[in-house]
Amino acid sequence: MLSGIERAHKEGRLASLIGVEGGHAVGASLAVLRMLYELGARYLTLTHTCNTPW
């Protein structure tokens, strides 16, 4: 079974991922991380200019 991105590529269509720039957006809350996932985010980048508690 093909994923949505693989299927789009095979059909010559474009696909994009939704992500969150900067892990500090989550803070220390797994609830926030879960909500971002429910909203469609599939990746989280590292924070470069501040610390995160995790």
Tens-digit pLDDT profile for residues 3-28: 888 899 999 999 888 999 888 888 88
CB neighbours (10 Å) of residue 26?
Answer: 20
Residue 8, in any domain of the structure? no
50: confidence class by pLDDT, cuts 50, 70, 90: confident
Residue 13, in any domain of the structure? no
pLDDT reported for residue 33: 93
27 Rama class: left (phi>0) / alpha (psi -120 to 50) / beta: left
User: Number of structural domains, the chain?
Assistant: 1
pTM above 0.85, yes or no: no
| Average pLDDT of every residue of the chain | 87
Domain range for 23 is 18-54
